[in-house]
Structure 1
Amino acid sequence: MAAPGRRETLRLLSQFGAFILTRLGFWNCFSMLMLFAERADVKRKPDIQVPYLYVDMGAAVLCSSFMSFGVKRRWFALGAALQLALSTYASYAGGLVHYGDWLKVRMYSRALAIIGGFLVLASGAGEVYRRKPRTRSLQSTGQVFLGIYLICMVYSLQHSTEDRQAYLDHIAGGEVTVQLLVVVFGVLALSFLSGCYVRIAAQILAVLLPLVILFNDGNLGYWHYRRRVEYWNQMKLIGQNVGIFGAVLILATDG
């Protein structure tokens, strides 16, 4: 009886991960609207020019809606990955808003990880009743994007004063613990990039990410007041890390 119970638990966790990831587009659009409303008060521009911004948001909502209802989930997950890739590129290439280098790493690495999560979903991972074989090439590509995200976390912990201090404020052991995290994230990154022991790596990351979200991302006083990250930009980053957690849950249970 233990094995069926374990399978049911894994299935529920996989469904929960897919639930989070498929709804992420709604949070992204809401947080972006709130961010641009926040900027309007101080006459700052949005990341993307307004006519294209509404098209981008419409595409995100459309893909999230169909994924949420399970209609052609693989196709719309692929569409969501493409939409986010184009949106991220347009934001970066447009250069309408200046961000510090450390904040760019935080923003664009998370966008890459979410794109990877959508590719994992598009591969067929996390489906309750898989009617078609899983597309391993899409899953492998998604895993590489998640590996790049982890490499960016390692880079930030080594070279970003802002990120290092955020961890040092909330962990015991100081620099020793930070260097231990560098090693752990580095090993997990190698696992995702190489495709070896991905399920075990995803299970470890599924335990670490909620702690990062709670104690690091959730420290709004530090990021918003001390580092001057816009409130709704930080809320968007928190939502994206939650979405990454959803993708990791899928890999941890159905990888």
Structure 2
Amino acid sequence: MAGPSRKQMLRFLGQLGAFILTRFGFWNCFSMLMLFAERADSKRKPDIHVPYLYIDMGVAVLCASFMSFGVKRRWFALAAAMQLAISTYASYIGEQVHYGDWLKVRMYSRALAIIGGFLVLASGAGEVYRQKARSRSMQSTGQVFLGIYLICMVYSLRHSNEDRQAYLNHIAGGELTLMLIEVLFGVLALAFLTGYYIRMAAQILTTILPLVILLIDGNLGYWHNNRKVEFWNQMKLIGHNVGIFGAVLILATDG
């Protein structure tokens, strides 16, 4: 019996990426609720003022629900991008919670990448039966956001002792290997920013991100115990990288 063809495999992977990305809102809201419950024990505030927080979560769940069922996916992907952008901006200017600069880079760069992923989805990329032509300009904008995320990763590896040590704990070759990883992320960022070799760059990134999620983000003992990142904040960040993986998977198969 013949196995699945390359076209069928690419279609499956593209659908998997869309499945992951469209469900991101559910995990993000759940992890935020758990994070704020964790803070309640120490009487710490959420990132956004409570009345607006419920509205923000309601919009996020609504967009995720419609995207998951495939109802006006492009429109609700664009709405999800706008919702996350407003939410991230509100939490940044609200300054209700103090984060270290290195943690801010991790948090806000990933949010920016998810926004880019939603824009890629809103462009029509990853659709199995595309009824309308994709918007190349919107896809390019989303790719730029993903490129900025990769630049922030390079910046963190150069200037954040916390991020550098997280990688050095899991790679052989020490500083030399870390430098090669920085160069690789820089080259991938350049591809996303310029729009050249997008599919190849996305395919490379899809092989790297699972290792980053498993070995770096998944090292909860390091981030929670040693670097004092709140447990559910780290789980939220893991969800962001999984969502980014979904977006990159779409570009890897339909870029």
TM-score, with structure 1 as normaliser: 0.99
| Alpha-carbon shift at residue 56 of structure 1 (Å) | 0.1
Q: Could you tell me how far apart the structure 2 residues matched to 1:252 and 1:5 are?
A: 17
Which residue of the partner structure matches residue 176 of structure 1?
Answer: 176
Q: Could you tell me how far apart the structure 2 residues matched to 1:187 and 1:143 are?
A: 14
Which residue of the partner structure matches residue 138 of structure 1?
Answer: 138
Letter in structure 2 aligned against 1:136 = R
| Alpha-carbon shift at residue 3 of structure 1 (Å) | 11
Q: Which segments of 5 or more consecutive residues in structure 2 lack a partner in the other structure?
A: none
Which residue of the partner structure matches residue 96 of structure 2?
Answer: 96
Q: Could you tell me how far apart the structure 2 residues matched to 1:22 and 1:57 are?
A: 15
| Aligned pairs for 1:110-189 within 5 A | 110-189=110-189
Letter in structure 2 aligned against 1:211 = L
| Alpha-carbon shift at residue 109 of structure 1 (Å) | 0.1
Letter in structure 2 aligned against 1:218 = G
Which residue of the partner structure matches residue 229 of structure 2?
Answer: 229
| Alpha-carbon shift at residue 15 of structure 1 (Å) | 0.1
Which residue of the partner structure matches residue 18 of structure 1?
Answer: 18
Letter in structure 2 aligned against 1:18 = A
Pair 1:38-2:38 in alignment: yes
Q: Could you tell me how far apart the structure 1 residues matched to 2:149 and 2:155 are?
A: 10
| Alpha-carbon shift at residue 17 of structure 1 (Å) | 0.1
SS where residue 241 of structure 1 aligns?
helix
Q: Could you tell me how far apart the structure 1 residues matched to 2:4 and 2:173 are?
A: 41
Which residue of the partner structure matches residue 61 of structure 1?
Answer: 61
Q: Could you tell me how far apart the structure 2 residues matched to 1:125 and 1:69 are?
A: 17
Q: Could you tell me how far apart the structure 1 residues matched to 2:76 and 2:3 are?
A: 33
SS where residue 98 of structure 1 aligns?
coil
Instruction: String of CA shifts for 1:88-128, please: whole Å, max 9, x gaps.
Output: 00000000000000000000000000000000000000001
Letter in structure 2 aligned against 1:247 = A
Q: Could you tell me how far apart the structure 2 residues matched to 1:94 and 1:246 are?
A: 30
SS where residue 43 of structure 1 aligns?
coil
Letter in structure 2 aligned against 1:180 = L
| Alpha-carbon shift at residue 4 of structure 1 (Å) | 7.5
Q: Could you tell me how far apart the structure 1 residues matched to 2:13 and 2:134 are?
A: 19
| Alpha-carbon shift at residue 179 of structure 1 (Å) | 0.2
The percent identity for this pair of structures is 81
Letter in structure 2 aligned against 1:156 = S
Q: Could you tell me how far apart the structure 1 residues matched to 2:36 and 2:159 are?
A: 30
Letter in structure 2 aligned against 1:210 = P
| Alpha-carbon shift at residue 130 of structure 1 (Å) | 0.1
Which residue of the partner structure matches residue 86 of structure 1?
Answer: 86
Which residue of the partner structure matches residue 246 of structure 2?
Answer: 246
Q: Could you tell me how far apart the structure 2 residues matched to 1:153 and 1:3 are?
A: 38
SS where residue 115 of structure 1 aligns?
helix
TM-score, with structure 2 as normaliser: 0.99
Q: Which segments of 5 or more consecutive residues in structure 1 lack a partner in the other structure?
A: none
Please, what is the CA RMSD of the aligned residues?
Answer: 1.2
| Alpha-carbon shift at residue 131 of structure 1 (Å) | 0.2
Aligned length: 255
